[in-house]
Structures are given as C-alpha cells and as structure tokens.
C-alpha cells in the first residue's frame, strides 16, 4: 500500500503563510467518507451506534462532523463530557466508560443523561450513594482474563489489564443492579488495541454474545445493547493491509445471527467506540525541517517535537513520513528525524530512508489524527500547536489556535512572572 498525503506541497505552503508550523491538519472529506462507511457496515443492526472515543481526538469541531452521521461520544473524564456537551452531544448519545473514577464524575455524567458503563463491581454502591439511586440504564465492562488469541496469534493479555470485571464479578454485578431497580442493561469489553485484522471484532462479538445469553438465562437481566468498544486499528506502515470495515461488519452480523438471533435476542443493539479507526488516517502533523546535523549519524531537526506527537518516543511507534514535493524522488538518504526536546527519544523516525531533506522542506507525518494532538504535553515549555481542518472545498478552518506563553503561564497565579504576558504573547516568534 502506498501512503499518499491528502494535501500537496503547494497547499501547505499557502496554509503556512497564515498558520506557522507545526500544525495538525485534518481531512474533512476523508473523515466524512469513513463515517459513512462505518454506518453502512453495521446498517443491518437498526440500533447500531458508534460512540466516538473522544480521548483519541478531543476537538468539538471534529466531533460535530461525526455527529452528523449518528456518532455519539465515548467519554472517560469530566473534560471529555464537557466537550461532548459543547458539540451538542448529550443524553444516551454519551457512553461514560471511566476507570478509577471519582464519585462526582458519575454525578456529572448522569446530569447529562449519559449511559454509565461500570468498570468495577465496587462502583455500584458509589453510584448509588452519589446519585441517591441507580439509573434505569447501566452497562458493565467485562474482562475475561488470560491471553486473548485469534487464529493469527496472540493479540493481547487481558489478564494484565486494569479494565473490567471478572466473569464471576459481572454475574454478581447484574444481579445486584437488577435487585436495585436497573431495568435496561448493556455489556461492554475492551480487550485489544489497534488490531489490523478483520477477525477481531467478530471474535470479540462471539465472546460477548455468548456471555449475554448466559447472563439473561442466569440473572434474568435483558441485555439490550452490546458495546464492542474500540480496538479496530489502522495500518501505520505502508506494507500493512488495512482493515475492511464492511467485512468486519459482515463478520459480526454472522455471529449475531448464529448466537443472539438463534437465542431469541435478535433485537440487541450493537455499539462501537472506535477512535483510531474513525480519525487516525485523516489527520497529519505538518512540520518543517529547520536544522541538519552530521555527526555519527545524519540528523534532520524539525520544528515539531515529541510534545506534539509522543507516540514514536513513548512506544517506539512507526509513523510514515512524506517529504512534500519529493514524493517521486528516491529514498536514498538515511536520517533520524528529531525534535528539540532535551530527551534523546525525541525522534519521529530512526534510521529512516527518505529523499534528501533540505532546510525549509515540509514533512507530512501520517496517521496522526488519533492519539496525536490529544497526547501532547508541555515538557521543556514547548507549546501546543494549532489544529486545522482542510475543508472539502479546499479551504482551511482553524479549529484550535496554537498555545501561547500566556496560556502556559496562566496557572501561575501565586507569584509574578516578571514580564507582562501580553508583551510575551505579542512576539511573533511564539
């Protein structure tokens, strides 16, 4: 597979005249086309809903686009609930799937009418205490433990995961919820992250569908929705075969009919909580080459750093890089592409074969649309970039301004910083 940027060098050069690099750029056309395809993949299930994982790309402008296609919001913190509300997403269009949760978070989620998805059985009395009673609709997160395998090998190790309840706990939880007046029940599980296989969702669906039948038979609780959560990944490397969401939907449909429909549960709604698949390929970090260094290796320094995109530094994750305007040139130079942090892992690429890079070249770092900007931080006092939306008509919309020194110092209210922040903010360099 060839990874092609969704923007040209000429477009970036024009954008950079108004919005200095680095910046995040999102592809509105790609986002919309993908959202339509997801809806098409699960159209066989009348109650289907994608609850976009806000943590992946917490921007209300993008959330609103997805909402146009029926997507709700999967939230796990009060700030994410606020973002959902700001985007006009409330009520049961919000799934609150948190862990290690403060009691007041449950109150806020309930005030918005969100579905509360319990991560642990001990949260039941907490919710009851803070709300005075349990909501009529609740969900529970399941963790099967052990190692999760598919036909193509070991996928992950849920037994080491902090999420969810054991099988024994989840049966007890439903019995308690029913006894305390809950009427509508959901089931949820998150077992594997970033799978590039069409088999994961159908396999997870089988696990959850079989469990749902047993829960109904043994507790008397009617499971009205089953949330497959996230885990559907994207091909970060050019040689990876992308997931086919239409085939994934067909696979879940087959298992649904085989288990749920056969057992008289053909009205169960299917929910998903995809973040990476919904947004990952449709966002890029655009950065400019500003330095070169020739020591024991060849280095290209760019004006972005791990504070803008931490996945390569944190996980050793691969993000493909295109040197805009040099797409057809041979990759005959080997570089480490680095940022300016005082950390040696501040590298977007290590020993990467690329075309010759000159100062002033623009680099398009692919697949940064999810868990990119949202994982940013301020180490070394580096400031967050802007976020821009490349509209379908070719225009560009600012959807988050870049951070300024005034923003960075705003929480220091206990002593003077020595300079007027407005003067600092006015410096065009920042």
Catalytic positions are 342
- Return the structure tokens found at 239: 């040689």
- Return the structure tokens found at 33: 């086309």
* 54 touches 75 (CB < 8 A): yes
Place of tokens 């007027």: 420
Residues 6+ apart with CB under 8 A from 132: none
42-49 contact pairs (CB < 8 A, 24+) = 42/249, 42/252, 42/270, 42/272, 44/249, 44/253, 45/253, 45/256, 45/269, 45/270, 46/269, 47/225, 47/267, 47/268, 47/269, 47/270, 48/269, 48/270, 48/271, 48/272, 49/93, 49/269, 49/271, 49/272
SS3 187: strand
Residue 409 to residue 389: CA distance in whole angstroms: 27
**Taking Cα atoms as reference points, which of 395, 264, 390, 376 lies closest to residue 314?**
376
**Taking Cα atoms as reference points, which of 103, 66, 63 lies closest to residue 84?**
63
* 5 HSE (CA, 13 A, CB side): 24
- Return the structure tokens found at 253: 């449909």
Residues 6+ apart with CB under 8 A from 29: 6, 390, 392
Residues 6+ apart with CB under 8 A from 289: 300, 301, 302, 357, 358, 359, 360, 361, 362, 363
User: E strands, 202-316, where?
Assistant: 223-227, 269-272, 283-294, 298-302
For 264, list phi and psi in degrees, rounded to 5: 75, 25
Residues 6+ apart with CB under 8 A from 156: 147, 148, 191, 192, 193
What element of type H or E holds 184? strand 184-188
């Amino acid at each position: 597979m060839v990874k092609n940027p969704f923007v040209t060098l000429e477009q970036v050069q024009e954008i950079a005249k108004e919005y200095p690099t680095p910046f995040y750029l999102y592809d509105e056309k790609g986002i919309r086309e993908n959202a339509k395809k997801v809806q098409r993949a699960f159209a066989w299930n009348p109650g289907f809903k994608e609850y976009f994982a806000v943590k992946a790309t917490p921007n209300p402008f993008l959330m609103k686009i997805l909402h146009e296609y029926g997507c709700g919001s999967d939230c796990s913190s009060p700030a994410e609930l606020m973002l959902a509300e700001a985007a006009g997403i409330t009520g049961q269009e919000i799934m609150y799937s948190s862990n290690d949760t403060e009691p007041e978070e449950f109150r806020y989620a309930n005030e918005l009418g969100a579905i509360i998805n319990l991560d642990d059985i001990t949260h039941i009395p907490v919710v009851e205490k803070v709300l005075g009673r349990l909501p009529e609709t609740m969900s529970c997160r399941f963790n099967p433990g052990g190692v999760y395998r598919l036909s193509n090998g070991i996928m992950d190790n849920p037994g080491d995961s902090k999420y969810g309840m054991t099988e024994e706990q989840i049966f007890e939880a439903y019995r308690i919820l029913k006894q305390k007046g809950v009427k509508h029940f959901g089931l949820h599980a998150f077992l594997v992250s970033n799978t590039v296989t069409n088999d994961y969702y159908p396999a997870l669906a089988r696990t959850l569908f079989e469990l749902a039948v047993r829960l109904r038979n043994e507790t008397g609780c009617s499971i009205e929705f089953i949330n497959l959560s996230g885990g559907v990944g994207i091909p970060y490397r050019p040689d990876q075969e992308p997931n086919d969401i239409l085939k994934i939907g067909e696979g879940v449909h087959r298992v649904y009919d085989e288990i749920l429909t056969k057992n008289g549960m053909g009205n169960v709604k299917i929910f998903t909580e995809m973040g990476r698949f919904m947004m990952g390929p449709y966002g890029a970090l655009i950065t400019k080459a500003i330095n070169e260094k020739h020591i024991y290796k060849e280095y290209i320094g760019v004006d972005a750093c791990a504070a803008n995109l931490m996945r390569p530094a944190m996980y050793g994750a691969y993000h493909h890089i295109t040197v805009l305007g040099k797409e057809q040139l041979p990759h005959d130079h080997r570089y480490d592409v680095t940022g300016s942090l005082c950390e040696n892992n501040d590298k977007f690429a290590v020993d990467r074969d690329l075309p010759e890079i000159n100062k002033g070249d623009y680099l398009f770092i692919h697949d940064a649309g999810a868990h990119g900007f949202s994982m940013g931080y301020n180490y070394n006092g580096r400031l967050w970039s802007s976020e821009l939306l490349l509209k379908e008509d070719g225009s560009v919309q600012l959807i988050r301004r870049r951070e300024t020194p005034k923003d960075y110092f705003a929480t220091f209210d206990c002593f003077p910083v020595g300079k007027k922040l407005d003067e600092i903010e006015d410096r065009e360099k920042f």
